[in-house]
Structure 1
Amino acid sequence: MEAHTFEVRDFIGGHAVLDFVNTVTGRDETPRDWLPDYPAYLAWLAASARLPASDLKRLATRAAQAPAAAERALRDARRLREALFGILDALAHRASPDAADLATLEHAWRRAVSGQRLIATDGRVQFGDAPDAHDGANLQMPTDQIALDAVKLLEAIPVDRLRMCAGPNCAWVFIDSSKTGRRKWCDMATCGNVAKARRHYRATRHGPARDRDRAD
């Protein structure tokens, strides 16, 4: 399968965690995973500007040196992504998330937190990576950061503005920041136009038939 080239239009979630979940598209019928391997994961991280170039370079080198470890790290990332999708899917439909999905997220979060410590910076005390503890070659590091960000997002997400694209064969999630709060599509230029085209097709196909029925 040809590698996906990430573009600006792939980052419509309104939050990096949602954009991460949206690296699977076509969930309804023919799912396409844009993270088939660790280099693709790095490509997404680069496009999302989540990590500095120096860290991305070290991660790429480490992944090439330890392909089995890179594969394990990718499996963990994808497992977290699917748990997050399940949680967000439930919340978007005003349902309770599955306990297994919550457990997967909690496990990833606990692992990420275990690598942090209380530090003092700029007169503040908070959890974070100590200056001498950051390992730019830790293949799990990007997923750890996503897990931490995901919990913060879920604690504060405006659930009444959380949406799942209404387009067929999509299921991307996003935060509706429109004034009216009635956004339905991940992108009007893609799913929105497809829906419009389908409505037009149905109207032109069935309209004449209804006219003939009335004439008869």
Structure 2
Amino acid sequence: MSTPAFRTGSGRISLDFIRTLRWRGSAGEVEELDAPEALAAWVSQLGPYTTGIAIPPPSARALRTAHETREAVYALLKAARTTGAADCPPEARGLLNTIAAAPTPYPVLDVHGALTHTAADPVAALLALIARDALDLATSPLLARVRDCAGPNCGAWFLDTSRPGTRRWCSMDRCGNQAKKSTWRSKQAAHD
């Protein structure tokens, strides 16, 4: 099984996590965390753990918990962006509060002086970190800087950290580049 290339760069780990359901709500919706091995790969790639250390595949129950956590994060941030965090569905709020209470990855200084992170349960610890990040973001002034990608087929959210606050795409390499190519092609077709 090949390791998927998960999307990053949204500016917050909770936003990167909700992107694991690509093209949410469309006919082409794709579940990136379709197996325990995929969740382990996501945790290994995006978590604070030492690069190259394999995370053992979690249980099917842990995968369900990850999906439920992702959907609760999405529900919270969607509510916070529209009417306010207080309008988050109670079941999503309760789940996030419970998940956030778990221990998070903790730093360890190794014998070579390098800082690594560890956890007894790497998946549960990272889910706790994600839940805490989502709760923080939903109640932060930074929430006003969460944007929808302008890519017509994307739908991802990202934190706009640009100075003027005018970033349009979740990724210049993907959506931004595709938009520029499309604009260029349209201009070329108009000149022909």
Deviations 1:160-193 (A, max 9, x none): 2111111022111111111111001011121112
Which range is displaced more, 14-23 or 174-183?
14-23
Give the counterpart of 2:166 among 177, 182, 199: 182
Deviations 1:66-101 (A, max 9, x none): xxxx11111111122123223334544x4446643x
Determine if the alignment matches structure 1 residue 173 to structure 2 residue 157: yes
| 1:30 equivalent in structure 2 | 28
Deviations 1:124-148 (A, max 9, x none): xxxxxxxxxx961476343233223
Alignment partner of 1:174: what SS? strand
User: What residue in structure 2 maps to residue 120 of structure 1?
Assistant: none
Matched, 1:79 2:68: yes
Rg: which structure is higher?
Answer: 1
Q: Distance in 1 between matches of 2:164 and 2:133?
A: 27
Distance in 1 between residues matched to 2:141 and 2:14, nearest whole Å: 11
Residue pairs, 1:1-150, within 5 angstroms: 3-6=3-6, 10-27=7-24, 28-52=26-50, 60=56, 63=58, 70-92=59-81, 94-96=82-84, 99-100=88-89, 103-113=91-101, 115=102, 136-137=120-121, 140-150=124-134
Contact 1:108 1:147 in 2 (8 A): yes
* SS state at 2:147 partner: strand
Distance change >3 Å, CA 157–CA 77, structure 1 → 2: farther
In structure 1, give the amino acid aligned to 2:21: V
CA distance in 1, matches of 2:96, 2:144: 26
Partner of 1:160: 144
Tell me the SS of whatever aligns to 2:42.
helix
Contact 2:73 2:96 in 1 (8 A): no
Q: Could you tell me the percent identity over the aligned residues?
A: 28
Looking at structure 1, the residues matched to 122 and 45 of structure 2 have their Cα atoms a distance apart, in angstroms, of: 19
Aligned residues: 176
Q: Which has the higher helix share?
A: 1
- Displacement of 1:21: 1.4
The answer to whether the Cα contact below 8 Å between 2:20 and 2:33 also exists between their aligned partners in 1 is: yes
Partners in 2 of 1:11 and 1:151 — Cα distance? 19
In the other structure, the counterpart of 1:119 is none
In structure 1, the gaps of 5 or more residues are 64-69, 117-133, 209-216
Normalised by the size of structure 2, how large is the TM-score?
Answer: 0.74
RMSD after superposition: 3.1
Residues 89 and 164 of structure 1 are in contact (CA less than 8 Å); yes or no, is this contact kept in structure 2? no
